[in-house]
Structure 1
Amino acid sequence: MKQTKLLPADLQHWAEQRIGPVVAVRDASHDWPRSRVWELRSERGIDWYVKVSPGKKFFTRETRAYRHVVPALGHRRAPHLVDSRAGELAMLLSVVPGAPASELGPTDGEWRAVHRQAGALCARLHEAGPLDRADLAEAQASLEAAADGAEKYLARAGARLTADEQQVIRDHAARLRRVGPVPVGYVHGDNQPRNWLWSTTGLALVDFERTRPAARVQDLVILAVGEWLDHPDREQAFLQAYGRALSTAERHALRCLTALDAANCLAWGPDNDDAEVTARGRRTLDRLMRENRP
Structure 2
Amino acid sequence: MSTLWHRGLLSDPQAALVEQLLSSPLLVEDLSWGLTDTKVLRLRSDGRDFVLKTAGPSNFHLVREFKAHAAYTAPLLAHGLTAPMRHEDRTLRMLLLDYLPGVLCEQTSSADDPDIHEQAGQALQLLHGQQAKMDESYEKNFIANGVKWLDAEHRIEPSALAAARKIFADYRPEPVLVVPTHGDWQPRNWVIDQGKLRVIDFGRFAIRPAQSDLARLAAQQWRVHPELATAFFRGYGDDPRELRSWPITQLREAIGTAAWAYQVGDTAFESQGHRMLRDSLELF
Normalization by structure 2: what TM-score? 0.87
2:42 match: secondary structure = strand
Identify the match of residue 36 of structure 1 among 5, 24, 39.
Answer: 39
Closer, same or farther in 2 for the Cα pair 1:61/1:269, shift >3 Å? closer
Q: Deviations over 1:49-91 (max 9, x none)?
A: 1101344643332112112110111242111111111112111
- 1:276 aligned residue: 268
Question: How much does 1:36 deviate?
Answer: 0.7
Look up the match of 2:96. 92
Q: Deviations over 1:126-152 (max 9, x none)?
A: 112x36xxxx46x55322221112221
Letter in 1 for 2:17: W
Q: Alignment partner for residue 47 of structure 1, among 46, 49, 66?
A: 49
- Match for residue 82 of structure 1? 86
Consecutive unaligned residues in structure 1, runs of 5 or more: none
Aligned length: 276
Q: What letter is aligned with 1:126? A: H
Secondary structure of residue in 2 paired with 1:228: helix
Structure 1 equivalent of residue 3 of structure 2: none
Displacement of 1:274 in angstroms is 0.7
Q: 1:147 aligns with which of 136, 143, 150?
A: 143
Q: Distance in 1 between matches of 2:96 and 2:210?
A: 28
Distance 2:148 2:208 in 1: 20
- Asked if structure 2 preserves the Cα contact closer than 8 Å seen for 1:143 and 1:176, the reply is no
Q: Which runs of 5+ in 2 are unaligned?
A: 1-6
Corresponding position: 1:168 with 2:168: no
Change (3 A) 1:115 1:50: same
- How far apart in 2 are the matches of 1:25 and 1:288? 42
Q: CA shift at 1:182, angstroms?
A: 4.2
Do 1:115 and 1:234's aligned partners in 2 also have CA atoms closer than 8 Å? yes
Secondary structure of 1:198's counterpart equals strand
Give the CA RMSD over aligned residues.
2.4
User: Which AA in structure 1 matches 2:100?
Assistant: V
Give the distance between the partners of 1:287 and 1:215, measured in 2 at CA.
Answer: 21
Q: 1:234 aligns with which of 219, 228, 248?
A: 228
Q: Structure 1 172/224 Cα, relative in aligned 2: closer, same or farther at 3 Å?
A: farther
Q: CA deviation at 1:291?
A: 5.5
**1:5/1:201 CA distance change after superposition, 3 Å:** farther
SS at match of 1:88: coil
Q: Is the 8 A contact 2:127 2:180 kept in 1?
A: yes
Are 1:70 and 2:67 matched, yes or no? no
Which one has the bigger helix percentage?
1
Contact 1:172-1:259 within 8 A present in 2 as well: no
Runs of 4+ residues over 6 Å off in structure 1: none
Residues 29/5 of structure 1: CA separation in 2 closer, same or farther (3 Å cut): farther
For 1:129-140, list aligned pairs within 5 A. 130=131, 136=133, 139-140=135-136
